[in-house]
Amino acid sequence: MKNRFIALLLSIFIFITGSGIGAAADIIVHNGESIQSAVDNATHGDSIIVEPGTYYENVTLSTYDLVIMSQSGNPDDTIIQGDGFFLTGDAQEITIKGFTLKGTGTSYGVNLAQFSNCLIEKNKIMNYDTGIDTNLYSTFTINDNEISNCQSGVFVGECYYDAVVKNNRISNCGTGVVVGDLGDSKIENNTIRENDQGIALMYEGRSDIAGNTISFNKKCGIYDKADTGSKIYNNYFNNTVNVIFDSSQDNPNTWNTTSTTEKNIIGGPYVAGNYWAKPDGTGFSQTHYDVNGDGIAEETVKLSEGEIDYAALATSENSTPEQPPGATNSTVTPSENVTSPSEEITDNNSTNSDGSSDGSSDGSSDGNSDNSDDSSDSNSGESSHSSGGSSGGAGGSPEPQTNVQVKELSQAQVINGKPVMFDFTKNATCVVYVSFDAKKTAGKITAIAEQLKGKSTLTSALNSGEVYKYFNLWVGNSGFATEKNIENPELCFKVEKSWLQDKKIDQTSVTLNIYNDKKWSQLPVKLLKEDNQYLYFTAQPPTFSFFAIAGKATQEEAVNETQAEPDTENLSNNTGNNTGNATTGVEQTSEQKESKGIPGFEMLYGIIGLTGVYLYRRKR
């Protein structure tokens, strides 16, 4: 009996191993086939290997633990033209490697979801609103990519753990790297050059910034509007204006580290502060020298009040610094190739802490020492990015960004018992402001207004009247904007008078419609004011969600129409979807999967279970 039971276990073991149950597989995508189809047929642990070719599609990932890579490892011969890779919340531990991603100036090349723990490596990413966009609580390594001609090269969102941007080459973007709300990221050993701004530190975002070459950026090397301090050391700065401060500086940055015996960015013996150069040769490190041979200047660099590099790097008077990659100029004029994408995101302007600038040749602000390498210029443009951001309907916008025409962000402090106002002062969308009374303190939160190209992909069409605009509105993180946390919500929107005239719309018929519980509902509106171009209306929505502004022509009879519910299956398929493939999907055959022969846990569970039965029977 014992021998027969052991033989049975052996048979099960051979069957499970031979059948490949739980085994990871390689899925080969041949030129002309669909990457999305391969992704849809993959299971966790699989590798999708893409043959050289050009693939016209957007790819949405919703399976964890996948590797998607070019077969050649050469991004120049494996090209994806479209809106790149969109990772849903289920797409964890994803590797994307070896592609050229080409966009059309909107959306993103790679969009990481929450808790993504992903590796984005050795890709070329160009012509997007945001090259790589990270979301709420993302963990990631963005390594050895070449990113160009984007409004933002990399957007680091609200990221707390293991968020690393390293060894990348980012050029000809509006902003090379944007560090957004909260988090503790690392920006290391990147070459960030010939952008409008090199790195933008925004709101409560902080970072360790070390070993980077930040050079020939048109407006500045670093734009600092953060409420928290970052640690910035061992970088090579060479910009006409190296730093612009646009915050109160209550929590100043640290501009040097404790002197450590290690080769620094200009080849000196110690890692300490930064090397401060300017293209015209008048930078601090170019005019102040190391006297005692430690590679550190004998004087400090006062960038602004409280912002001091106490250990700036320098060379002796008779030597020249070692040039890091990207330190020398090229024939490209900074920002010459930056284009304004059709999808725009604007942050509300804020002013200087002192509002002053002396316009001196070195860009130093009034009251700073002549060692200052910087400015308090308030004319720097705000940084932008294309994702839904770190706050919104679900920690970000669920709307596929291919359907977003333009969006605008606004931030405000939310304090219990106080009125809160989000003003959209850039006039980028039809939303003017959002207000409510806070019932809970939430700190600084973000409101996002998205004006859409058509109806939302997540709703049915509005069948009542002539639609003026579809738009989405997200306030705070998912679940915040509820009656538990806010009261007396108000939304102000505007309608062009020219639209009313062209469509012969009766002004009194203008309505705001909200999509909730799978149907459209009409909200009462009140005319607030008007100017030469717009009528301004207010409404009190029960929540912030999907909206449509509509009106009826004067000759149209008032008809009560029942709104159709969207097809549930199509709605679930569209949620967060960003495919829209131009390439015909090809079903993956069994021949496409080559077993790696690594048995899964199913085999182990089977053996343990049968062994338990055997021991139980033996005991009896």
Please give the average per-residue pLDDT across 80-91, as a whole number: 89
pLDDT of residue 9: 59
Domain extent, residue 541, equals: 401-570
Instruction: Give me 141's structure tokens.
Output: 């390594």
> Do residues 143 and 110 touch, judged by C-beta distance below 8 A?
no
140-143 and 152-156 strand pairing: unpaired
Give a yes or no: residue 264 inside a domain.
Answer: no
> Do residues 269 and 294 touch, judged by C-beta distance below 8 A?
yes
Separation between Cα atoms, residue 313 and residue 123, nearest integer Å: 33
Give a yes or no: residue 518 inside a domain.
Answer: yes
Q: SS3 for 436-452, per residue? A: EEECCCCEEEEEEEEEE
pLDDT of residue 516: 87
Q: With pLDDT > 90 as the criterion, what percentage of the chain qualifies?
A: 48
For the beta sheet containing 345-346, the strands, ordered from the edge strand earlier in sequence to the opposite edge, are 345-346, 404-414, 443-452, 466-475, 546-551, 511-516, 519-523
Give a yes or no: residue 247 inside a domain.
Answer: no
2-19 and 601-619 helices cross at what angle (nearest 10)? 170
pLDDT of residue 416: 87
Least confident of 191-195, 250-254, 276-280: 250-254
pLDDT at 589 over 50: no
pLDDT at 524 over 80: yes
pLDDT of residue 117: 80
pLDDT of residue 604: 56
pLDDT at 192 over 80: yes
Give a yes or no: residue 328 inside a domain.
Answer: no
Within 10 angstroms of residue 336's Cβ, the number of other Cβ atoms is 10
Instruction: Give me 288's structure tokens.
Output: 């102040």
pLDDT digits (tens, 9 = 90+) for 398-420: 788 788 888 888 888 888 889 99
Please give the average per-residue pLDDT across 234-248, as a whole number: 91
DSSP 296: B
> Do residues 219 and 243 touch, judged by C-beta distance below 8 A?
no
**Residue 554, amino acid:** T
Torsion angle of C-alpha atoms 153, 356, 283, 382, degrees rounded to 10: 0
Which tops the pLDDT comparison, 384 or 273? 273
pLDDT of residue 139: 78
Q: What is the pTM of this model?
A: 0.57
Q: Which helix (H) or strand (E) holds 572?
A: helix 568-574
171 — pLDDT class (breaks 50, 70, 90) = very high
Separation between Cα atoms, residue 514 and residue 549, nearest integer Å: 9
For the beta sheet containing 486-496, the strands, ordered from the edge strand earlier in sequence to the opposite edge, are 419-423, 431-438, 486-496, 534-539, 526-530
pLDDT digits (tens, 9 = 90+) for 484-501: 889 999 999 999 999 999
pLDDT at 460 over 70: yes
pLDDT of residue 404: 87
Q: With pLDDT > 70 as the criterion, what percentage of the chain qualifies?
A: 71
pLDDT of residue 180: 79
pLDDT at 613 over 80: no
Give a yes or no: residue 559 inside a domain.
Answer: yes
pLDDT of residue 561: 44
Give a yes or no: residue 536 inside a domain.
Answer: yes
pLDDT of residue 400: 80
Please give the average per-residue pLDDT across 116-132, as a whole number: 93
Give a yes or no: residue 186 inside a domain.
Answer: no
381 — pLDDT class (breaks 50, 70, 90) = very low
Please give the average per-residue pLDDT across 183-211, as a whole number: 90
CA 491, 492, 496, 500 torsion: positive or negative?
A: positive
Domain count of the fold of the chain:
1
Biggest alpha carbon–alpha carbon distance for the chain: 95
pLDDT of residue 395: 38
Average pLDDT of the chain is: 78
Q: What are phi and psi of 186, to 5 degrees?
A: -125, 125
pLDDT at 549 over 70: yes
Separation between Cα atoms, residue 300 and residue 369, nearest integer Å: 10
pLDDT of residue 134: 85
248 — pLDDT class (breaks 50, 70, 90) = low
Alpha carbon separation from 292 to 97, 271, 283, 317, 538 (Å, rounded):
46, 16, 20, 11, 69
Query: Per DSSP, what are the bridge partners of residue 520?
Result: 515
pLDDT of residue 11: 59
∠ CA 14-15-20, nearest 5°, is 100
pLDDT at 602 over 80: no
Give a yes or no: residue 439 inside a domain.
Answer: yes
152-156 and 175-179 strand pairing: parallel
322 — pLDDT class (breaks 50, 70, 90) = confident
Which residues have CB under 8 Å from 97's CB, separation 6+?
Answer: 67, 68, 69, 70, 73, 119, 120, 121, 122, 123
Alpha carbon separation from 294 to 174, 186, 282, 306, 492 (Å, rounded):
37, 27, 22, 25, 61
Least confident of 160-164, 385-389, 482-486, 608-612: 385-389
